[in-house]
Amino acid sequence: MHDDRTLVEARLRRVLDERIRPAVYPESVPLQVAVWHAPGEPVPVEEGLAAEPEPVEVGARWGAPWGTSWFRVTGTVPEAWAGRTVEALLDLGFDENMPGFQCEGLVYRPDGTPVKGLNPRNQWVRIGAPVAGGEEVVLHIEAASNPVILDYHPFLPTQLGDKETAGQESQYTLTRMDLAVFDESVWQLVMDLEVLGELMAELPVDSGRRHDILRAVERALDAVDLQDVNGTADRARAALTGVLSAPAVPSAHRISAVGHAHIDSAWLWPLRETVRKVARTTSNMTALIEDEPEFVFAMSQAQQWAWVKAHRPEVWARVKKAVAEGRFVPAGGMWVESDTNMPGSEAMARQFVHGKRFFLDEFGVDNEEAWLPDTFGFAAGLPQIIRAAGSKWLLTQKISWSQTNRFPHHTFQWEGIDGTRIFTHFPPVDTYNCSMKGSELAHAARNFKDKGRARHSLAPTGWGDGGGGTTREMVAKAARLGDLEGSAAVVWETPRAFFEKAEAEYPEPPVWVGELYLELHRATLTSQAKTKQGNRRSEHLLREAELWAATAAVRTGFPYPYEELDRIWKTVLLHQFHDILPGSSIAWVHREARATYERIAGELTGIVAAAQQALAGEGSRELVFNSAPHSRDGVPAGGAGAPRPPQGTRLSPRAAGGHVLDNGLLRVEIDARGLVVSAYDIGADRDTVAPGGAANLLQLHPDFPNMWDAWDVDAFYRNTVTDLTDVDEVSAGEDGISVRVTRSFGDSRVTQVLSLPPGERRLVVDTEVDWHETEKFLKLAFPLDLHAERYASETQFGHVYRPTHTNTSWEAAKFEACNHRFVHLEEPGWGVAVVNDSTYGHDVTRTVRTDGDRGTTTTVRVSLLRAPRFPDPETDQGVHRFRHALVPGASIADAVREGWRINLPERRLTGGQEVAPLVTVDDDAVVLTAVKLADDGSGDVVVRFHEAHGGRARATLTAGFEVAEVTVTDLLERPGGGAEPPVRDGERITVRLRPFELVTLRLRRA
């Protein structure tokens, strides 16, 4: 038989595009349109509805960047349409290829009831099915003229990312405002042909099934009268019945479709616009649930649910009804889909505390899955946190974006640093925006790496990023794909139903140990330094506020600020969203974040000061409050006492030029260039700085990645480097015991102060950068005379080890990585820590010296600043301050302690009495990460701690108050948690911990 396959396939494409799809709406009449442009920020719905609009014609330009326009559309359904289905077609100027990334609208009835959202893939509003004819139609559209930031030529610098710089030029052209007859039969024919055409294209050319479909499609196209598509659509559909009813083979891959709209809580739009995006999407999804009995929709991020509740009560009522029916599913149990690399231990825990508690309080739903489809890699401490929150599953797909290595599993057990394992699934469809295309489902089936042992995968289905969700077209396609020969079999179900099936069929999946490192988006550890500093500072201020407020509440009756702390925690957690904290949002988002962090710092500082004054009482004694989890300078952890007089530090000239700092423990030589050429550990009799090397070396790289400017740094950036050794001035500091260094480069200026605290084995480097570079990457280098094949980086509730070598492509790909407060390297018996107060990105490399002693130089470089131009063209311009410390001779215990010290400086005030800690621990390996009052207002004291050194620990906690009962709890302060029960002797509580084990205790006061 002659092969006419390509001829029939080409015929299908043209007939669909030019004849059948246009016939879905065979008749239409224009609507009358009027518009009112709201001045400034969005107005309340009542104000928008009441405003007096001006007439406007289709074809008119509208919408200044970030503006809101209220359109009123009116018309009358023609009498001749009686008995037919009628829809309004409302095209604001959409580009169908940009759902979620451009203008959007929410349609209201005149009484203010939301109807549904409008977006490029959802432009219709049902008027009646059927209509009686003669109905008067009045609809209002709250239209957001969000500008397109990520355009067809992506990553071009634009001023559109902030309303303060975006200008007033209209962004869109009003394209269509009509009433139209909707022909259900033609629409169903379109769905039939799309499903079969897409399936056919994925089947082998020599398969019989492909040719069966080809011939059926040909018969259907023959049955369509191109001059009367509407009259012949049913006849064409009949020709397809046979191929659409052929069942899937028993071995077909099984796909659990979960309706979804991954909505970035901020990204190429500000937070306030996300509030409206969520309202539009939830309006559409509740309507789709009412129309489609099999459809199930899942939405994560409790913050977004809270926005609906607070801002759209009518939509919230519909959401609650759908949740009660099990059709609209709270997912993930986190406050937002946060970054998981940079949030600190307590913050990561509180993501689950606040997220799960919201869903429990509102719906009685206790999520058992973490849902993070778009987060940029996963820290190795996360499995324990998920389990401690009462959850046991994880879903993500972002690792499929890795540039170098393909992850070997789609379903597996992920083991964290403490040994906790979480059943994890990566959807092989490789997108969280599945649209039920044949190519997507075929890719999922082919791509699934666990064939032969498992056959289930999940597909988050719906337009995401900017929202929109699932469409009726996707639901129609899924219905046809439920049991169809040649395709994976599709069923709508909840995340829980999927995980239960997947876990049951795969009882012994493979295990992946350690972090899930994304080999992409590494620069998110550095971009937008002030956002990262705001996060770090807020986390530690929250620790202080809880600690001192709880101590003061128990000791003095100080009113514990439950509501304030709850609100501030939720604000900090929101800003840990995976496009805010990583620095990948538009300028508007980061401008607001800086202001928010400043406000939070003021509030928390006020709480700390009030609680500390209540504890100190009246008096003139100088007291030092120590918020860190380790004693220092004679002041106990979590207590306040008189400061210990420090030993002296000497500053003297260096013979070869420069200065020498010496405090009896360290002798640091700073040369005439302001570089540290020696950091001599006197007790260990060895130098820290590699021979011929210089620490405190600022290095500048060009930084122009191939894509994703704010997100990425590509390995080739290291091919070119400029060492900033030219110096403007090296002089003694104003205190006479420090060294001040200033340098200029490009359009920027750096001022550093190097100091050696008395009695401490650490060199403190305070760096101020007035940064005015573009597309540059600034690093601070410490070349160490130390041989180590691995190094430790702090992560949540412990640390993770990474190799210093690049034996494999997996190791080479980790050329930029995350740490929290410290990086630690060690030879047996001697190590070095580099600690920081606000940076995350770093790299560690090693070289062998070819001359002299042939020793190993291991270089730690801290990433300070970048200057990408997309999506914020002014990223990080301005003044920044960083504090780092080099700690020679440091054990891992020293690294932990010094990391806390640099982030929790002492606070001094006068009072009448010293303050004993509320809770003490007799082992420095056991670190208290939270001391607070229970969230339920009972007055119980909650203590959270973990083993921080990577070994086993037996520690005694002693409460500074009478304890009636001790309960091991989960993160939500509920009985349970899985830890070994403690042994109690009065106020002394003895616990045994595994390496990195996390424990939460609830202490009921007598």
Known catalytic residues are: 374
> Phi-psi region for residue 444, left (φ > 0), alpha (ψ -120 to 50) or beta?
alpha
Q: Rounded CA gap, 611 and 565, in Å?
A: 13
What is the helix, strand, coil percentage profile of the chain, to 5? Answer: 30, 30, 40
β-pairing verdict for 328-330 and 297-299:
parallel
Reduced to 3 states, what is the DSSP secondary structure of residue 435? coil
Those residues whose C-beta lies under 8 Å from the C-beta of residue 327, and which sit 6 or more positions away, are: 289, 295, 296, 297
- Cβ atoms of residues 797 and 345 within 8 Å: yes
- Let me know the angle formed at the C-alpha of 515 by 509 and 520, rounded to the nearest 5 degrees: 110
Reduced to 3 states (helix: H, G, I; strand: E, B; else coil), residue 216 is helix
Radius of gyration of the chain (CA): 31
List the one residue out of 968, 985, 1006, 991 whose CA is nearest residue 388.
Answer: 968
**By the 8 A CB rule, do 509 and 450 touch?**
yes
Residue 160 CA to residue 930 CA, distance in Å, equals 42
C-alpha distances out from residue 293 to 319, 322, 351, 363, 776, Å: 16, 11, 33, 21, 54
What angle is formed at CA 687 by the lines to CA 685 and CA 691, rounded to 5 degrees? 140
Give which of 93, 115, 114, 118 is closest to 104, Cα–Cα.
118
What are the angstrom distances between the C-alpha of 168 and each of 67, 162, 768? Answer: 9, 12, 37
Smallest Cα–Cα separation from 659: which of 678, 672, 648?
A: 672
- Cα separations in angstroms, 811 against 517, 807, 841, 856: 10, 7, 16, 19
Is residue 116 a contact partner of residue 196, using CB atoms and an 8 Å limit?
A: no
Q: Are 250 and 484 in contact (CB under 8 A)?
A: no
Angstrom CA distances, 723 to 222, 678, 753, 759, stand at 73, 18, 19, 32
Which residues face 621 on adjacent strands?
911
DSSP secondary structure, 674-699, as one string: S-EEEEEETTTTEESBPTT--BSEEE
- Cβ(157)–Cβ(704) below 8 Å: no
- 208-223 and 184-202 helices cross at what angle (nearest 10)? 150
Cα–Cα dist 430/44, whole Å: 39
The conformational region for residue 189 under phi > 0 = left, psi -120 to 50 = alpha, else beta, is alpha
Handedness of CA 72, 78, 81, 82 (dihedral sign): positive
Cα–Cα distance between 416 and 151 in angstroms, integer? 39
Phi, psi of 396 (to 5 degrees): -155, 165
Given a contact cutoff of 8 angstroms between Cβ atoms, the answer to whether 417 and 386 are in contact is no
Q: What is the DSSP letter of 828?
A: T
**Sign (positive or negative) of CA dihedral 371, 372, 377, 381:** negative
The encoded tokens of residue 916 equal 């004993």
Give residues with Cβ within 8 angstroms of 595, minimum separation 6.
none
| 3-state secondary structure at position 848 | strand
